[in-house]
Amino acid sequence: MSTAKDTANPTRTASQRIIDEAGSWPEVTVGPGARGASVAFRVGHRELGHLHGDHAAHFSFPKDVWEDLRRQGRIIPHPVFPEARGPAARRIESDADVRDVIELLRLNYRRALERRRRGVAA
């Protein structure tokens, strides 16, 4: 469960709430995204995910994780790669979506830290 502060505060945008939470994690950098993304979250060179304003988040997951998340209804295929398993998207329309985007970023964050711990290049 997310520990995001003020996720229900209507005066803060969805992207600001996500940035504030994920940006507070050790080793996470928040900066400009590429190809239309407003902001990207990284650990080293590894991108955890990125936001397109306040309305969508994009991620990349291993195929087995992607399949589990898709089956749970937490992600949809990435609109640019609709046939690929791995690239994923999540609409942001509610406070529950904000919380789940944070949790999806946290999932990739934990994977990135584990790779770093094992000495795999980030």
Q: Is the Cβ–Cβ distance between 51 and 37 less than 8 Å?
A: yes
Token pair 């950098």 is at which residue? Answer: 29
pLDDT of residue 17: 97
| Alpha-helix runs per DSSP H in the chain | 14-22, 63-71, 95-117
Please give the model's pTM, rounded to 2 decimal places. Answer: 0.86
pLDDT of residue 4: 39
Over 90: is that where the pLDDT of 80 sits?
no
| Alpha-helix runs per DSSP H in 8-94 | 14-22, 63-71
**SS3 call for 107:** helix
